[in-house]
Structure 1
Amino acid sequence: MKRKLAIVLLLCLSLSLVITGCGSKDAATNNNQATDESWQNIKDQGYFTIGLDDAFPPMGFREKGSNDIVGFDIDLAKEAAKRMGVEVKFQPVVWDTIVEELNGGNIDMIWNGLTITPDRQKQIAFTKPYIASHQIIVVNMNSTLADKKALAGKKVGVQAGSSAIEAVEKDQATYKSFGELVQFDNNVDALTDLASGRIDAVVVDEVVGRYYIAKKANQYKILEDNFGSEDYGVGLRKNDKAFLAELQKALDAMKADGTSAKISEKWFGEDIMK
């Protein structure tokens, strides 16, 4: 009798522990869902703020004359915000501190030709990629440089905090052969110094580089060599899962109904959306 009673008590205790454990997991899950008020907070304030480099054509830049911030990513962001039922504001920031600005709460997202890299994925969350690009090498039209090997001993410009730096550093043999890696506040300054002969080449996102070069076709050329491919995504704080889900929903709808393709054609003359 005592043995049977002990078995019954043991079974009851085991069942109690299982129920308690499941309850704790459910409570933790519900608590996490309940505490993610990222999207609700955006709806309550009526807008979200995008951090960007405002000298990054064609993704985001100041329009001559009006000084308004315009660009491919700007149009995408405005359309997404409209579908989400909120407004969007744009906040220029120093690019090499932009992740800190996001995680510090000074901006709500980064939407500005942001390359998805392993290092950034450790710090922030991303939407699905929306564009594929490369890190291209730009030189002056009269340059005799023909490939990456020719960059040995040369001054090569990049934008500070950009994925161009990571791309170059991955190719250690080429990187170590540089005479100097010169960092600039933005790509426009780098290309200006290239034109003036203060540096020998610029490594830049293909989307940005081709757009800028098309406007000065007699000044620059692009080498066949490059420093690899990459994807662009929109960056948000890791804890803002509800906000990210709502944004992704809008982006998916824009792709499905052809709106993002039309915006791409406006800026690039073709649909380059991924």
Structure 2
Amino acid sequence: MKKFILLFLTACITFVLTACGNSSDSDKKTLVMGTSADYPPFESKDGDKIVGFDVDLAKALAKKTGHDLEIKDMDFNGLITALKTNKVDIVLSGMTPTPDRKKQVDFSDVYYTAHNMIVTKKASGIKSLHDLKGKTIGVQLGSIQEEKAKEMSADYDLNVENRNRISDLTEEIKAGRFDAAIIEDIVAQKYIDKNSELIGFNLPKEPDEKAGSAIAFKKNSELTEKFNKALQEMEKNGELDKLKKKWFSGDKK
């Protein structure tokens, strides 16, 4: 009898552990979204709340796929690691699905395509790429702008410095420690609008450049297909365009 009870309990424990092991993100009621809330109009702080295009998009997609949403603010360069170590379930943070990132996580379809801008002081005299030669350029750590600056450094003899937050870059420019920074255009314009001493100009878009924002998921997550389906629905019924008009209208120049 004791042997039978022991075998029975072992079987029960094995069943419970197996059931837990087979649970997926798709089964979770509440999904944790990782973001870096220094990237208006995609995500930024409004008092104690995190608001922005990515936040509204994530809430809409979560609702369509039957989930609640919890948002965690963290440094951009830590988002992929947070996803891989199960600290977050999804990432929406204006993130581009680069080849290196695709090796680590999966991505949704691109929901927004962007360009890069050079931000500098009005009094800096920097008005073109030629004026950047020998200058110190700031970029966000772990961003595609960091990769872009490194590509440009050979041609323009750039000294590339990185920081965790976009706000850090603009403060370094204003303090004179950076000559300029490379920032996504629609985000850069938000900072320029709030800082009268800053100005910007767009980098030429290369023919093979396909920068854009997508949602990041853990490798082989069931959420990827579910969110892609919901995203396609939002594109077809006009909901995505409404969100873009709400957050981006009048920002691009």
Identity percentage over the alignment? 28
Separation of aligned partners in 2, 1:67 and 1:233:
25
Name 1:117's counterpart in structure 2: 98
Most deviating of 49-58 and 142-151:
142-151
Q: What's the CA shift for 1:214?
A: 2.7
Separation of aligned partners in 2, 1:141 and 1:270:
22
Name 2:26's counterpart in structure 1: 42
Whichever residue aligns with residue 197 of structure 2, its letter is: Q
Q: What's the CA shift for 1:121?
A: 1.3
Q: What's the CA shift for 1:157?
A: 0.7
SS at match of 2:97: coil
Q: Tell me if structure 1 keeps the 8 A contact 2:137–2:182.
A: yes
Q: TM-score, normalised by structure 2?
A: 0.83
Report how many aligned residue pairs link the two structures.
229
Name 1:14's counterpart in structure 2: none
Quick check: which has more Rg, 1 or 2?
Answer: 1
Q: Identify which of 220, 230, 246 aligns with 2:198.
A: 220
SS at match of 1:142: helix
SS at match of 2:123: coil
Name 1:98's counterpart in structure 2: 79
Q: Tell me if structure 2 keeps the 8 A contact 1:148–1:174.
A: no
- 1:127-138 paired onto structure 2 within 5 Å: 127-138=108-119
Separation of aligned partners in 2, 1:146 and 1:137:
9
Name 2:150's counterpart in structure 1: 169
Q: Identify which of 228, 237, 243 aligns with 1:248.
A: 228
Q: What's the CA shift for 1:150?
A: 1.8
Name 2:137's counterpart in structure 1: 156
Q: Identify which of 161, 186, 198 aligns with 2:165.
A: 186
Separation of aligned partners in 2, 1:146 and 1:269:
26
Name 2:177's counterpart in structure 1: 198
Q: What's the CA shift for 1:174?
A: 3.2
SS at match of 1:58: coil
Q: What per-residue deviation string (whole Å, max 9, x for no partner) do you get for residues 27-84 of structure 1?
A: xxxxxxxx9853xx433x3111111112221111110xx3211111001101111111
Whichever residue aligns with residue 188 of structure 2, its letter is: G
Name 2:34's counterpart in structure 1: 51
Cα 1:208–1:266 shift into 2, 3 Å: same
Q: What per-residue deviation string (whole Å, max 9, x for no partner) do you get for residues 72-108 of structure 1?
A: 1001101111111110111112221221111111111
Q: What per-residue deviation string (whole Å, max 9, x for no partner) do you get for residues 210-231 of structure 1?
A: 2222333x32222243475411
Q: TM-score, normalised by structure 1?
A: 0.77
Cα 1:224–1:159 shift into 2, 3 Å: closer
Separation of aligned partners in 2, 1:135 and 1:239:
31
Q: What's the CA shift for 1:202?
A: 0.6
Cα 1:47–1:224 shift into 2, 3 Å: closer
SS at match of 1:244: helix
Q: Tell me if structure 1 keeps the 8 A contact 2:33–2:91.
A: yes
Q: Tell me if structure 1 keeps the 8 A contact 2:38–2:165.
A: yes
Cα 1:36–1:264 shift into 2, 3 Å: farther
Gaps of 5+ in 1: 1-34
Name 2:213's counterpart in structure 1: 232
